[in-house]
Amino acid sequence: MAQATGTSTGGAQTLARGLSALKAVVAAPDGLSAQDVGDLLGVHRTIAYRLLTTLVDAGLVSRGPDGKFRGGVGLLQLTAGAYNTLRAAAVPILRRLANAVGSTVSLLVVENGEAVALAVVESETSRYRIVFAEGSTHPLDRGAAGHALSSILPPTPQDGDRVRRARADGYATSFAEVEPGAYGLAVPIPYPDRAVAACINLITYRPELIEQALPAVLAAAAELGRALSDGAQN
């Protein structure tokens, strides 16, 4: 029995180290060497190398010509799974929000340096609707959603005033930065571990709606964050 317990404990430790190594590599745009990962984990280089090699074999990490390790294509499958979970949790909340505020609302995420609409829900109670298709993209440097999503990412010296303000206020607004004549309101979602940068976005041609809808959008983002946190713990 003692031997089984020891093996189980050792396996859990190895798994935890492997996950930590994966997170470290993914978070390093310039890649990490085995020594870098070993230093971050507090283990010998050879242990870090074995962990990284296992991740390479799984397709989650790749090793470049420079010997550094970076995220592999296998991460795309994990990301797709995370997006499916995020979308499934978000749509019912978005539907209630859209009908409550009488405006189109959407869920946007960061993908390849752009804001991407993962889900769009139109209000069933409004006579006027803004057409905004799922899969639509726009640069992160414009629009309420772009500023809100950028505020979730680690701060950089290049962050503009809009991003810093969104980070301080917990939301962002815009006018005609993506859709001509449209006002935008976006609230970041407190996603577990910030694994996926996402926000709830409202677009409207009615300027007064932005202030009126802010409490409801903040509440919806908080509700979605709680749902995701509960799902991650179960």
Convert the pLDDT of each residue in 50-90 to its tens digit. 988 888 888 778 888 888 888 776 665 666 666 778 888 89
pLDDT band at 202 (very low <50, low <70, confident <90, very high): very high
For residue 48, the cross-strand partners are none
pLDDT at position 27: 74
pLDDT band at 17 (very low <50, low <70, confident <90, very high): confident
- 11 vs 140, higher pLDDT: 140
Helix (H, G, I), strand (E, B) or coil at 58: coil
CA separation, residue 222 to residues 6, 39, 83, 195, 200 (Å)? 41, 36, 18, 16, 10
Residues 124/104, Cβ–Cβ less than 8 Å: no
pLDDT in tens, 33-46: 999 999 988 989 89
